């Protein structure tokens, strides 16, 4: 099926056709043609379940364009991860802004006001952002909404993100039944189930633009599920032999490992192999890239140093401990061919589009908290394997599992290569998901009693799957819980959110977090002694706070910390029985200890090294704690604890900038982080107003402050 034919049948203007032709798209890929034949451009709901890179996005684009051409309105493109939202935004904006189609992005980071968001023809957003908008009844979102693209719908299976995706889909389905849903997914075994839930036509295919061969490496040979086997020669460990073979054939390689530590170890191991294949030019460019990734000597963390050291040899590791900008640089330089190998945790496979000739899934077992080593799911293997094969560069892609014995080779073939991925199941049945979303439904005035709620929940995938759950009973329990904890109240026969419930809903936190914050604040108001440590500990008790695990190595230090601050801790075991769980108690303490060091101006690199974490981890924790402190401030205002509001705001600033109390005034200046604020303070500028009498030349004499920055500081303080 040619683009020409589709464009003339659906009367697309010439300028749009040119965009497609210019990007080399003349004929549809087979699954794309199947989707069109199934009615994608005639407004039918479609579930397109095909492998990565088989062109799902293009079908979505055609549907959105068709709807925008036929009636004024808007399309939503919903993705599960922020990085994916930004990637899609860049792509679509570049493609369509020249023809007047306004493309926007909303991820919760760059919160543009609704009147701007409502002006976009195509709004790309994370599921969380759309859910948050629906909670505030953003009517503009549903008015004139024509097409909703649900990208990576298999994320329904994700414990954390699945329930939100499910709820917002059910909500849109209920409020605007005319919307066309276009759900896109990797191959899943129960696609018919999801299609039936969405009332969608299922389009399934195994077709890939670059054929994939899945194989098992054993004893210097890869045995594939199709085609001839391949002899692998080279020296050193198996992984090096595979790398040598890939790079010799001018390919690139992705290695998936089971932990951050093993991704780093694997990348170190591969340096000697990758280094052989670098040209002089590449070496020079890689040295520069390594310098950028390491950052300045004075603030270099061990992780950044290790990253720089492997990148010099054309190998990078990639995991959530790295900063987002480091990850982005690694991805870009792999795409442009400079980096030859990336060793990564499986998060990379679920993220941005980053294919390679060969994907080696080195570890098929992973240690899960307390459960010992267990096999990774087939779906995870398939997702990683699917990254093999780079369009325009590779004739075929190869995924490789490594076996240690012939018996293991056989069992891996059965367990992974010949297996079907696990079915996607609804995750909405958890207590946390149900109480959060039922409260959101009441607070958003969507439902007011158990029957309405049951009606609404019956639109969800949870109800569709009819797992052995007694839904009405579960909903009843949630209502009891929300009423007992004062999130909702009964007026006549109907339930409404209390102010506490409304705030919880708008703050987008788990009601269990609100209870912890509220109870802590009440205790303080009644005279409980406390300190900043106690407040930080309180936020770390909330289920919305991520926790540092692996506390065993720092056991004694954490015990001593807990002992020294026991009188300052606000929530004790008697108020929060979960603290009797030793693992949770220690994880909360360890996280509190890390945060305390941060606000005491401990250097970032020292925190990373001492806690064995990456800079990316620190920022994830800071973001969560700042938000929970903001929630605490909101509740303190609600309960009229005025003094606490002030203390909490100060603490929030300290967490934001990583500073002691005395630097708060200086930290508000733009371009001044924790390090420069400390330098200014030590040079006698203790308060922002002290800078009014300084000259730019004086300030430029201070370490790390150059003349342009000094001038900018003077400008900032002299503004009225």
Residues near ligand ADP (CB under 6 A): 23-25, 28-29, 32, 52-58, 353, 391
Nearer to ligand ADP (CB atom), residue 28 or residue 253: 28
Give the position of tokens 């250097």: 603
Least distance to ligand ADP, CB of residue 391, Å: 6
Least distance to ligand ADP, CB of residue 241, Å: 30
DSSP 99: G
Q: Can you read off the two tokens belonging to residue 720?
A: 């009225």
Nearer to ligand ADP (CB atom), residue 54 or residue 618: 54
DSSP string over 377-398: PHHHHHHHHTTB--TTT-S-EE
Nearer to ligand ADP (CB atom), residue 314 or residue 389: 389
Least distance to ligand ADP, CB of residue 311, Å: 26
Nearer to ligand ADP (CB atom), residue 392 or residue 693: 392
**Which helix (H) or strand (E) segment is 529 a member of?**
none
Nearer to ligand ADP (CB atom), residue 383 or residue 465: 383
Q: Parallel, antiparallel, or unpaired: how do β-strands 365-368 and 372-375 relate?
A: antiparallel
> How far apart are the C-alpha atoms of 608 and 616, rounded to whole Å?
10
Least distance to ligand ADP, CB of residue 584, Å: 39
Nearer to ligand ADP (CB atom), residue 385 or residue 655: 385
> How far apart are the C-alpha atoms of 645 and 708, rounded to whole Å?
37
**Which helix (H) or strand (E) segment is 127 a member of?**
helix 127-135
Are 478 and 438 in contact by the 8 Å Cβ rule? The answer is yes
Q: Which long-range contacts (CB under 8 A, 24 or more apart) does 187-192 make?
A: 187/49, 187/50, 187/51, 187/382, 187/421, 188/49, 188/154, 188/379, 188/421, 188/423, 188/424, 189/420, 189/421, 189/422, 189/423, 190/423, 190/424, 191/47, 191/49
Nearer to ligand ADP (CB atom), residue 29 or residue 256: 29
Nearer to ligand ADP (CB atom), residue 135 or residue 387: 387
> How far apart are the C-alpha atoms of 319 and 345, rounded to whole Å?
6
Least distance to ligand ADP, CB of residue 400, Å: 21
Least distance to ligand ADP, CB of residue 122, Å: 15
Nearer to ligand ADP (CB atom), residue 87 or residue 604: 87
Nearer to ligand ADP (CB atom), residue 41 or residue 462: 41
Q: Can you read off the two tokens belonging to residue 564?
A: 């020294």
> How far apart are the C-alpha atoms of 32 and 5, rounded to whole Å?
14
Nearer to ligand ADP (CB atom), residue 24 or residue 468: 24
Least distance to ligand ADP, CB of residue 53, Å: 4
The residues, any chain, with a CB within 8 Å of residue 646's CB and separated by 6 or more, are: none
Least distance to ligand ADP, CB of residue 49, Å: 10
State the virtual CA torsion across 53, 57, 63, 65 in degrees, nearest 10: -130
Q: 5-37: buried (b, 16+ CB within 10 Å) or exposed (e) per residue? A: ebbeeeebeeebbebbeeeebeebbebbbbbbe
Are 551 and 594 in contact by the 8 Å Cβ rule? The answer is no
Least distance to ligand ADP, CB of residue 51, Å: 7
Nearer to ligand ADP (CB atom), residue 32 or residue 118: 32
Give the position of tokens 């209870």: 515
Angle between helices 615-638 and 499-507 (to 10 degrees): 160
Residue 446 CB-density burial (10 A; 0-12 exposed, 13-18 middle, 19+ buried): middle
Least distance to ligand ADP, CB of residue 467, Å: 30
Least distance to ligand ADP, CB of residue 386, Å: 9
From 348, 372, 370, select the one nearest 361 (Cα to Cα).
348
Q: 632-658: buried (b, 16+ CB within 10 Å) or exposed (e) per residue? A: bbbbbeebebeebbebbbebbbbbbbb
From 710, 670, 676, select the one nearest 691 (Cα to Cα).
710
Least distance to ligand ADP, CB of residue 87, Å: 9
Least distance to ligand ADP, CB of residue 55, Å: 3
Nearer to ligand ADP (CB atom), residue 23 or residue 411: 23
Least distance to ligand ADP, CB of residue 24, Å: 6
Nearer to ligand ADP (CB atom), residue 47 or residue 243: 47
From 358, 361, 292, select the one nearest 328 (Cα to Cα).
292
DSSP string over 430-494: SHHHHHHHHHHHHHTTS--SHHHHHHHHTTSHHHHHT-S--HHHHHHHHHHHHHHTTSEEEETTE
CA distances to 137, 500, 508 from 504, rounded to whole Å, are 15, 6, 6
Least distance to ligand ADP, CB of residue 381, Å: 18
Q: Can you read off the two tokens belonging to residue 176?
A: 């605007």
Nearer to ligand ADP (CB atom), residue 127 or residue 311: 127
Q: Which long-range contacts (CB under 8 A, 24 or more apart) does 113-119 make?
A: 114/138, 114/140, 118/74
């Amino acid at each position: 099926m040619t683009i020409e034919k589709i464009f003339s049948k659906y009367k697309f203007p010439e300028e749009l056709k040119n965009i497609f032709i210019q990007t080399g798209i003349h004929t549809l890929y087979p699954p794309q043609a199947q989707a069109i034949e199934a009615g994608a451009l005639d407004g039918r709901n479609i579930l397109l379940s095909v492998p990565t890179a088989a062109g799902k996005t293009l079908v979505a684009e055609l549907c959105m364009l068709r709807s925008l051409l036929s009636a004024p309105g808007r399309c939503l493109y919903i993705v599960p991860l922020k990085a994916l939202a930004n990637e899609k935004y860049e792509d679509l904006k570049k493609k369509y802004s020249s023809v007047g189609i306004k493309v926007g992005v909303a991820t919760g980071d760059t919160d543009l006001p609704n009147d701007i968001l409502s002006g976009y023809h195509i709004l790309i957003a994370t599921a969380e952002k759309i859910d948050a908008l629906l909670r505030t009844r953003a009517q503009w979102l549903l008015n004139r909404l024509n097409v909703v693209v649900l990208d990576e719908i298999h994320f329904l299976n994700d414990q954390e993100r699945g329930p939100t995706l499910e709820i917002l889909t059910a909500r849109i389905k209920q409020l605007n039944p005319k919307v066309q849903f276009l759900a896109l997914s990797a191959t899943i075994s129960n696609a018919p189930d999801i299609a039936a839930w969405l009332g969608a036509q299922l389009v399934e295919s195994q077709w890939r633009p670059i054929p994939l061969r899945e194989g098992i490496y054993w004893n210097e040979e890869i045995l594939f599920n199709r085609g001839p086997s391949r002899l692998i020669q080279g020296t050193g460990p198996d992984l090096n032999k595979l790398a040598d073979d890939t790079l010799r054939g001018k390919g690139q390689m992705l290695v998936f490992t089971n932990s951050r530590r093993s991704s780093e170890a694997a990348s170190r191991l591969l340096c000697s192999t990758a280094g052989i294949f670098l040209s002089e030019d590449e070496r020079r460019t890689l040295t520069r890239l390594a310098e950028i990734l390491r950052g300045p000597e004075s603030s270099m963390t061990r992780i950044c140093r290790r990253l720089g050291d492997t990148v010099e040899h054309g190998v990078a590791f990639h995991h959530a401990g790295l900063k987002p900008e480091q990850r982005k640089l690694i991805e870009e330089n792999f795409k442009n061919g400079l980096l030859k190998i990336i060793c990564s945790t499986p998060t990379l496979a679920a993220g941005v589009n980053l294919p390679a000739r060969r994907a080696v899934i080195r570890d098929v077992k992973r240690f899960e908290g307390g459960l010992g080593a267990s096999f990774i799911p087939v779906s995870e293997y398939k997702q990683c394997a699917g990254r093999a094969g780079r369009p325009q560069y590779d004739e075929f892609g190869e995924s490789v599992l490594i076996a240690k014995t012939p018996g293991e080779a056989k069992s891996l073939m059965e367990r992974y290569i010949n297996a079907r991925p696990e079915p996607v199941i609804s995750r909405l049945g958890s207590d946390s998901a149900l109480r959060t979303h039922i409260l959101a439904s009441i607070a958003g005035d969507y439902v007011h009693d158990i029957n309405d709620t049951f009606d609404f929940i019956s639109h969800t995938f949870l109800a569709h799957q009819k797992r052995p759950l007694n839904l009405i009973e579960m909903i009843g329990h949630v209502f009891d819980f929300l009423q007992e904890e004062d999130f909702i109240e009964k007026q006549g026969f109907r339930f409404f959110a209390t102010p506490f419930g409304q705030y919880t809903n708008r703050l987008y936190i788990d009601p269990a977090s609100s209870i912890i914050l509220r109870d802590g604040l009440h205790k303080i108001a009644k005279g409980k002694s406390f300190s900043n440590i106690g407040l930080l500990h309180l936020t770390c008790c909330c289920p919305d706070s991520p926790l540092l695990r692996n506390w065993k190595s720092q056991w004694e230090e954490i015990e001593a910390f807990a002992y020294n601050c026991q009188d300052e801790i606000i929530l004790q075991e008697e108020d929060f029985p979960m603290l009797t769980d030793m693992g949770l108690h220690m994880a909360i303490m360890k996280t509190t200890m890390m945060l305390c060091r941060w606000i005491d101006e401990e250097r970032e690199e020292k925190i990373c090294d001492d806690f064995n974490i990456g800079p990316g981890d620190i920022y994830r924790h800071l973001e969560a704690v700042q938000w929970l402190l903001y929630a605490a401030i909101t509740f303190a205002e609600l309960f009229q604890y005025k003094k606490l509001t002030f203390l909490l705001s100060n603490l929030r600033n300290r967490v934001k900038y990583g500073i002691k109390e005395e630097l708060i005034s200086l930290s508000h200046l733009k371009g001044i982080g924790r390090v420069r604020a400390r330098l200014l303070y030590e040079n006698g500028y203790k308060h922002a107003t002290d800078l009014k009498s300084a000259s730019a030349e004086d300030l430029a004499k201070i370490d790390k402050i150059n003349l342009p920055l000094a001038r900018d500081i003077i400008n900032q303080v002299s503004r009225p």
